[in-house]
Structure 1
Amino acid sequence: MDVVDAPRPTPAAPEMRAIVSREPATPDENRLVMPVQSFRSWKASDRRQPAQPHNWRTPWLQRLFVFGGGLALTAFGAWEMYHVVSVSRTTSLQYVLLALFTINFSWIALAFTSAILGFFGVLFGVGRAERAETLQHRTVVVMPIYNESSARTFAAVAAIRESVEATGLGDHFDYFIVSDTTNPDIWISEERAFLALRERLGPESRVYYRHRPKNHHRKAGNIADFVTRWGGHYEHMIVLDADSLMTGSCIVRLAAAMEADPDAGIIQSLPLIINRNTFFARLQQFAARVYGPVIATGLAMWSGRDGNYWGHNAIIRTRAFAEHCGLPDLKGKPPFGGHVLSHDFVEAALIRRAGWSVYMLPDLTGSYEESPPSLIDISVRDRRWCQGNLQHARIIGAKGFVLPTRQHFATGIMGYLASPFWLMQLVVGILIVLQVNYARPEYFTQEFTLFPVWPRFDPERALRLFAITMAILLAPKLFGLLLTLFNNRLRRAGGGAIRLVLSSLLEVLFSAFFAPIMMLIQSGSVFQILLGRDTGWNPQRRDDGSIPLNDIIRRHRTHTVLGVVTGLSAFMIATSLFAWMSPTIVGLVLAIPLSWASGQLAIGLWLKRRGLLLTPEEGEPPAVALRANELQTEFAKAGFDDADGLKAIHADAELRHAHELMLPDAQPRRRGEIDPERAVAQAKLVDAETIEDAAIWLKPKERMVVLHDRALIGLLSTLPSERAESAA
């Protein structure tokens, strides 16, 4: 039978209110040991042997095409560039330009050959995922959250659960929200939303919640804590992000694919971006939907069973993960030391080293995520990703990793080094033009010549090489557009052929404008990391892209000044240099208005009403997304996200009791050891005459201390709601 995505009709839901459930917040623990792995020692004899060796086909031809083709293109580009700069005797600056060009060209050449492979893979339906009729094992859907809106996250979990139930195979799945939240008000709102959802779903909800007192090792530590405590209950786990949505059909087919392949360690789906409405987010959403499948399919085809993991919307074999994916801390301090920041690449590498396969099913529909709403928001997330990928330079040489795994690491590292390399190429190009126009030619060099040492170029060859470079750079986008136009359903749902073409042109144009801004942002991130600055881990904004204009000016004023200075300098040096650099100059000069426009909801909705940047998922919205949005509106009305956590605990005895039941057992205090924050919090509670006093006086960290301590919660509960009337 075919599973369906539409949710099963449910009875009228009770009012969203936190009611104490008789069912524990978590099941009994079923522990798995998760030993810390080593990057320095590994024995090949420790690698398991495949259970189905006939399925382990290494895609040699695909790899030869991608990497051999990329190498050939790079050699051609380097040869052409050499002839561009070697019209006369070549200077040292021209050799530097040649080297930088070759590095940057190799990056886009590899993406081009992989996209060609992906184009034909999508065209001919390579690697179709099978549908499922039955399942044998239990799978848990795990959503890690960190200071998120409870209405959003719990609505998503509820919508996913409904969709899975509609497949008829819902009994095989549990749902676990694992919270690392550090904001006390958000923590209590999560508990209230969890209890309300439990009440809504009834005694067989199979929805669980755990809050971790300290977010040690962040998301990787959050998942590891779940695996070591409850992982023994489940053969597989599907890991989500806080902004993830997956249809029941997608989840069931992932579980079926894992059950059908005893050698699979991780199976990754391709998440498409949905629910985005700001201008910048809609550009990303359109690009990911139209061009993403081509790129992902090419990657999946040459990676084969040596694939990668993106940290979410994937299914993982739980015991294999526990046995082989315990992450060690790297020696030294952040940004290159400490815990592994971009853990997903490393977990894929470790589980593959152990003999389990990692691969992607790019054609599996029903996997969704969201994206940051503005240029500044994405730069904040990008800074963290940049540090994580550069940190992989210390891991790429680990013992036992297969060669494609090292290529995944190299690709991630180069993804961020490409920006400073591009910046250096621009700077060297300007210096060469300055040398041509202003430097005095050297007539008498150590080697006698009849002509001065003067850098010269072949303009016709340079123009041809520029055209080839742009064609290779834009080809993956053209491939994605063509495939969308070829597909009748996608073409109609995306607004028709004309609107799709106009949307692609709009995306290419504004991507060109945003590119130099991102180049400088990423270059700055790389330089900061090399200087030893750690990024930290900030919560991600989800919806609102509006940022105060003063903040935008502060963040982009340097980019604007640099664009103005570069433009004036280029124009004064040579009009040809100005023309060559004009896309970069325009993007930088307009950095402030572009960044402001990127977060504007009005611009995005205006384009949407005119059918521009429209994706098929907007033309035919997935049922699970509609249901999640509907539930989010309903859950938001309960007001859990807007309430003061201390006051909510104080006002509701049932909630207070449920909260105390969810707390871990307190560790005994050693005599003579005093926790300063607890002592201060207790003193403030003793001094407080009302709950209002406590709410005003207690700082966020002190609130967290109170909410983790049953004795202090008891003291809090004794405070009156209002100040007693003074005696006459």
Structure 2
Amino acid sequence: MRGSIWRPSPLPATYKTLQTAEVCVEPRLWVFSTRVTFAVLTGLLSLAIVTAFAYSLTQWTLLAVVALSLVLINALWISGGAVTALLGLMQPKLPTKSLPDCSMPKGRTAILVTLCGEDPGPVADYLHKLAGDLVQQNLAQENARLFVLSDTSDADSIEKEEGAFGELIASDHVSYRRRARNVGRKPGNIADWLQRHGADYDYMMVLDADSRMSARRVRQMIWQLETRPHTGLIQAGIALIPGRSGFGRHQRTSSRLLSRNFGRGFAAWSGRSGNYWGHNAIMRVAAFRAAAKLPHLSGRAPFGGDLLSHDFVEAAWIRRAGWAVELEPDLVGSAEDAPQTLEAFHRRDRRWCQGNLQHLRLLAEPSLHPVSRFHLISGIFSYLAAPVWLLLVGLISSGAVSLAGALPLILVATALLLPKICALIDGLTRSKTAKRRVVIARAWLAELGLSSLLAPLIMVRQAASVGSVLLGIDCGWKTGRCRAWRVPSGSIEAAVGLGFAALTILMGSVAALWLAPVVLPLVCAPLIVRVLDAGA
């Protein structure tokens, strides 16, 4: 999910019974039992990791107790991900209701595409095709209307934007509006549309400039929302557009292998209290009105000001208003582009880090659903985990905390590998030919190798991101700030790796073999970055 380089077939029929007009008891009991299973298994796996670490300590000191506390924090985090993947594999493969060919929407849908300085050419090409495909799917303009909502402010970019959309505007396939003042960023842009046009539409679908949804998937999501009267938002699973660089191709492979199974597990325990990723989602206009006015955090950025990761908060607010928020993890017909270089990935991830840490100030908000509150906590820990791991590596490499035996490492590796193993099992069981199974196994091994190399690099950058936020450095939204923090070509990672290696040698620590999977990729970071960024 967010904060990770991989993120998310339909759901089991037991879950789909929510499509009836009455809210059934069965889905609620099903989700409740799944949540109990999730909590119990997460607790047991975390306990096993912490117990193994405690058993392996050669000496109990104050630093050892601190390390044990840090292990507990990250054990809960990685165990939750492992159990989510395991639950995805456990979901029954039952038939689901398919979209009727003759279905016609009862309400009107607005498809909102938000822009802020992005290249308008690919967006215009996509909307040309989508406009025609919507008609073929019985979604004429009286049923589904395309809106381009622009916050572009640069004069040259405005000229390019108006030229790219000129034909679509002239043919009335698209309604185009550019705000003179960028108040409230993307949430303010959508809130402005809601105030002007919301009364004319029943549903709204939100897309970013790099989002892509097929007309068939649009029609399917409208149908799903109309058959679930208590649902306020449905988030589609999101695949990745084919990558242009080695890093971009790696992300797409990770998404294709891992997202389907992990998404099924996430949907199973989140139930009617799912999350929102900011795009590729449909929602009722009436439900979104409950989230349109987001809180403005007092004080200065990075912890104050506008919410950067507004989507999690919007989902929590919609759920608090009594509407269900659901995930449909099917990836078909739903995609987005991804950063093609590690530097671009780190830049986006830095903004997400700041946005998720802002959620610390919202945890005490009254009347939030417990699962919505848990989503906020999970987003926060997705970034706090990195400095915790980094501190643990430092304590072990310095010899301040000494361990005997490999049992803790084996259990941590098991928890980290379990989502990948579950994804492999899911992919192999769905494959109908031996050739396809060979392709999946080969892709899985390549993804495992590359993600193992990248994990330490991302850990260092995320730890630096958390540190910069705690120091009060604001990187804002799509700005050139924090340039001084960005050091390209993996030099930061290499410096950290060499520091750990020197510390281990200097202190004569016996943990060198333990730390090799972390230290070696860090030392080789400049080469890894150069190879993976090629072709971007």
Instruction: Please confirm whether the aligned pair reaches a TM-score higher than 0.5, indicating the same fold.
Output: yes
Of residues 226, 229, 232, the one that matches 2:193 is 226
Task: Determine the structure 1 residue equivalent to 2:209.
Answer: 242
Show the counterpart of 1:480. Answer: 423
Please identify the structure whose Cα radius of gyration is greater.
Answer: 1
Tell me which residue corresponds to 2:38.
66
Q: Please give the alpha-carbon distance, in whole angstroms, between the structure 1 residues aligned to 2:509 and 2:443.
A: 32
Task: State the AA in 1 paired with 2:349.
Answer: D
Structure 1 residues 83 and 562, CA, compared in 2 at 3 Å: closer, same or farther? same
SS at match of 1:144: strand
Return the alpha-carbon distance in structure 2 between the equivalents of residues 598 and 343 of structure 1.
31
Equivalent residue number for residue 381 of structure 1: 348
User: Are the aligned partners of 1:135 and 1:255 in contact in 2 as well (CA < 8 Å)?
Assistant: yes
Distance 1:258 1:185 in 2: 40
Give the drift of 1:555.
5.8
**Does residue 194 of the first structure (1) align with residue 165 of the second (2)?**
yes
Measured in 2, the distance between the counterparts of 1:247 and 1:51 equals 27
1:305 partner SS: coil
User: Which of 495, 498, 518 is 1:564 aligned to?
Assistant: 498
Report the Cα offset of residue 539 of structure 1. 6.9
Q: In the alignment, is the contact (CA less than 8 A) between 1:250 and 1:365 conserved in 2?
A: yes
- Matches of 1:125 and 1:284, distance apart in 2: 30
One-letter amino acid of the structure 1 residue matched with residue 38 of structure 2: V
Check whether the contact 1:128–1:363 (CA below 8 A) recurs between aligned residues: no
Q: Measure, in 2, the Cα distance between the counterparts of 1:221 and 1:598.
A: 37
Tell me if the contact between 2:489 and 2:530 (Cα under 8 Å) persists in the aligned partners: no
Matched ranges for 1:7-406 at <5 A: 52-54=22-24, 57=28, 59-85=31-57, 90-121=60-91, 124-125=93-94, 130-131=99-100, 133-171=103-141, 172-199=143-170, 202=171, 205-363=172-330, 365-406=332-373
1:16 aligned partner: none
- Deviation of 1:458 after TM superposition, in Å, equals 3.6
CA spacing shift, 1:363–1:82, aligned 2, 3 Å = same
* Closer/same/farther in 2, CA of residues 130 and 403 from structure 1, 3 Å limit: farther
Once the two structures are overlaid, the 10-residue window that deviates more, 189-198 or 223-232, is 189-198
Indicate how the Cα distance of structure 1 residues 143 and 576 shifts in structure 2: closer, same or farther if over 3 A, else same: same
SS at 1:368 equivalent: strand
Partner in structure 2 of residue 24 of structure 1: none
- Cα deviation 1:246-285 (Å, max 9, x = unaligned): 1111100110111111111111100101221210111111
- How many aligned residue pairs are there? 510
Conserved 8 A contact 2:394-2:500: no
After superposition, the Cα gap between the structure-2 partners of 1:240 and 1:131, relative to the gap in structure 1 and judged at 3 Å, is farther
CA 1:127–1:67 in structure 2 vs 1: closer, same or farther (change >3 Å)?
A: farther
SS in structure 2 opposite 1:475?
helix
Name the Cα RMSD after superposition.
2.3
Q: 1:60 and 1:566, CA in 2 relative to 1: closer, same or farther beyond 3 A?
A: same
Q: Does residue 421 in structure 1 map to residue 388 in structure 2?
A: yes
How far residue 595 of structure 1 moved from its aligned partner, in angstroms, is: 1.6
Structure-1-length-normalised TM-score: 0.67
8 A Cα contact 1:139 1:236, kept in partner: yes
- TM-score when scaled to structure 2? 0.90
Question: Structure 1 residue 500: deviation in Å?
Answer: 2.4
* SS across alignment from 1:237: strand
**Distance 1:555-1:530 versus aligned 2 partners, 3 A rule:** farther
Q: What are the Cα deviations for residues 380-436 of structure 1, in whole angstroms up to 9, with x where unaligned? A: 0001100000000101220110100011001100000000010111111123x2x5x
For residue 303 of structure 1, report the CA deviation from its aligned partner.
0.6
Q: Distance in 2 between matches of 1:531 and 1:573?
A: 30
- Give the gaps of 5 or more residues in structure 1: 1-49, 436-454, 541-550, 603-728
- Give the Å deviation of 1:499: 3.2
Distance 2:36 2:207 in 1: 34
CA distance in 1, matches of 2:295, 2:67: 40
1:154 positional shift: 0.9
The letter for the 1-side match of 2:76 is S
Shift of 1:245: 0.8
- Separation in 1 of the partners of 2:457 and 2:486? 13
The offset of 1:482, in angstroms, is 2.1
Q: Secondary structure at the match of 2:208?
A: coil
Report deviation, 1:128. 6.0
Cα distance, 1:475 vs. partner?
A: 1.3
- Work out the CA distance in 1 between the residues paired with 2:154 and 2:530: 29
CA distance in 2 between counterparts of 1:286 and 1:103 reads 29
CA separation of 1:554/1:466 partners in 2, compared to 1, >3 Å: closer, same or farther?
closer
Deviation string, structure 1 residues 41-76 (Cα, Å, up to 9, x no partner): xxxxxxxxx973337725111001111110111112
Map 1:322-721 to 2 at 5 A.
322-363=289-330, 365-431=332-398, 433=399, 435=400, 457-459=403-405, 463-488=406-431, 496-538=436-478, 554=488, 556-574=490-508, 576-601=510-535
Give the C-alpha shift of residue 216 in structure 1: 1.3
CA deviations 1:105-144 (Å, max 9, x no partner) are: 11111111111111122x6148666446121111011000
Q: In structure 1, what residue type is equivalent to 2:93?
A: F
State the partner residue of 2:13: none
In 1, Cα distance between equivalents of 2:111 and 2:386:
37
User: Retained in 1: the 8 A contact 2:431–2:437?
Assistant: no
Tell me what 1:666 maps to. Answer: none
The AA in structure 2 aligned to 1:557 is S
